[in-house]
Structure 1
Amino acid sequence: MYVVLVHSPDEEKYSDFPLLEESENCICAFKADPNPHFIWRPQAMSETHSFSLMENEGGVSAEECVFEYYVWDDVSLALDVGDKVLQLPDLRKSVRFCENMPPINKQRSFQSFEDAEAIVQELWPESGPLQEFKKSDFHINN
């Protein structure tokens, strides 16, 4: 689990915490130019797994599971904007519908494109149609 606190560089109350500086091996970075954005470099991009690490008296062992699961990084961004209002003017441009993958949790259902489109139209009535994000669109820009 990672937590990244984002605040004004003028804010002194967080001076004991490390800065979010970019380096070749950093996990998280912030780029201000030309368009402000965060970069997250996951540590464990992987396919599905069907093994689980089990603790025992001699340490740990890998035991086969009857189900598959994914391994991913949990990331939380905490934004301290003081008494200002956080503005996300381009948020709608970034909203895409992702195609269905085999479910990780069988008790959960996947929302359809039509359901997602209805939610987007409710939130942004003046926006255009919802675009679909396909696996083939995935790429990482530095």
Structure 2
Amino acid sequence: MTQPNVQTTLKSRLTGTNSREYSKENIHMSLDDLKQEHKNDYTRKEVIQPNEEATNWGQVPHYPRPVEFCVSTVAHVTTERGLEGIMAANGFKGGERGFLWWGLVIGQEEIAAAEQRYLETLIPEWSPEEIERQKEEPFLHNFTTSPAFKDESRYGNFRFTFNLDDLLQKYSTEICGGQTPVLKVYKTSIYKQEVMYTVLIHSPDVCVYKDYPELDDNDQAVCLYRDGKIIWRAQAISETHHYKLTENKEKKEVHAEGNLNIGYVHYVWDHVTLAFHMPRDTILPFSRAELEEVLTPCDKDNPSVPKHDKLTKDKAMVEIQKYAPERKTSDTGS
């Protein structure tokens, strides 16, 4: 079904999961530019300036943006049926539109490093004492609450986690004939609240995507690849806003303040996905031992499914034990 109250110049389609996607190919649009071309109940909202008070539901409290995350780990999450197929094939096949999809894995270490970079950009020339004082009151974790940062997944209960460089090397060897894979800007998509930036990865021999621009390492890029990491300049990190960011550049103080006068506010959230092009009838192969080593359970984050129908982490671990009997039920780390 089409979203109500949508005005857009973007291309529209129904996905395989019957979600309405609005998108523009060949570009990673900044959130501000996207909001000019696509207006719904969320993108119409305005983010207010630092230290101002939101007074109505159409205003989003000030929050950190952009925030630069440097990510070296990616994950493919799948369902029980998908798990069976991966283990049976000893590897990964392309799914919808012939792509193998991976998301960024962002933990506390990446969040802490991103907070430090944000502070250094916001207020240059910190003294060591000022830096240590600010570290005593971290703030970014109050805002990194969107699905992009959750351990739970909307895609299933079984997560395969790889170092990005290792995955690219495997893809180079098995799919690209030893050549270096090409990373390109594929498209910007929006689904109601979710904004997704897709990076396309393919063999140099594939010509069908020749008109798509390669990822560019510049200050304006939403995401880029550098030194084995995806650099993601996140523009909307909360989805539901419970805090506002206050900034005092003279005193060099930055704080997250709760108890908003208007309560919590819903807004859009963004994230980056990697779409590996998989030629027809190809597999990105891994040994059973390699797959077992990187496989972990996770809870499924799907509010529309009743709790009693959801597969928990522990129950997902029981399914994993069918393929790795030596794994313990208590071994449910992400």
TM-score where L is the length of structure 2: 0.26
CA shift for structure 1 position 112 = 2.2
Partner SS, residue 73 of structure 1:
strand
CA distance in 1, matches of 2:233, 2:213: 18
Which residue does the alignment assign to 2:327?
128
8 Å CA contact retained: 2:297, 2:316:
yes
CA distance in 2, matches of 1:25, 1:5: 19
Partner SS, residue 119 of structure 1:
helix
Is structure 2 residue 202 aligned with structure 1 residue 7? Answer: yes
CA distance in 2, matches of 1:3, 1:25: 16
CA distance in 1, matches of 2:215, 2:303: 34
8 Å CA contact retained: 1:70, 1:104:
no
- Work out which of the residue numbers 275, 284, 294 in structure 2 matches 1:78: 275
CA distance in 2, matches of 1:31, 1:116: 35
The structure in which a higher percent of residues are helix is 2
1:41-56 maps to which residues of 2 (within 5 A)? 41-46=233-238, 48-49=240-241
CA distance in 2, matches of 1:70, 1:91: 37
Per-residue CA deviations over 1:75-119 (Å, capped at 9, x if unaligned) read: 55432232532235555444444579xx77264425322112012
Q: How many residues align?
A: 113
Give the structure, 1 or 2, with the largest relative contact order (CA under 8 Å, sep 6 or more): 2
Is structure 2 residue 224 aligned with structure 1 residue 29? Answer: yes
Distance of aligned partners of 1:39 and 1:106 in 2 relative to their CA distance in 1, 3 Å threshold: same
Distance of aligned partners of 1:44 and 1:87 in 2 relative to their CA distance in 1, 3 Å threshold: farther
Which residue does the alignment assign to 1:113?
313
Distance of aligned partners of 1:104 and 1:121 in 2 relative to their CA distance in 1, 3 Å threshold: closer
8 Å CA contact retained: 2:223, 2:230:
yes
Partner SS, residue 19 of structure 1:
coil
Which residue does the alignment assign to 1:138?
none
Which residue does the alignment assign to 1:16?
211
Per-residue CA deviations over 1:32-76 (Å, capped at 9, x if unaligned) read: 75xxx65544321126238xxxxxxxxxxxxx79x8767432555
8 Å CA contact retained: 2:215, 2:224:
yes
8 Å CA contact retained: 1:27, 1:41:
yes
Q: Return the index of the structure with the highest Cα Rg.
A: 2
8 Å CA contact retained: 2:201, 2:277:
yes
CA distance in 2, matches of 1:126, 1:22: 45
Aligned Cα RMSD in Å? Answer: 4.0
Percent sequence identity over aligned pairs: 29
Partner SS, residue 269 of structure 2:
coil
Distance of aligned partners of 1:11 and 1:46 in 2 relative to their CA distance in 1, 3 Å threshold: same
8 Å CA contact retained: 2:298, 2:316:
no
8 Å CA contact retained: 1:69, 1:104:
no
CA shift for structure 1 position 7 = 0.5
CA distance in 2, matches of 1:108, 1:24: 44
Distance of aligned partners of 1:24 and 1:49 in 2 relative to their CA distance in 1, 3 Å threshold: same
Distance of aligned partners of 1:107 and 1:80 in 2 relative to their CA distance in 1, 3 Å threshold: closer
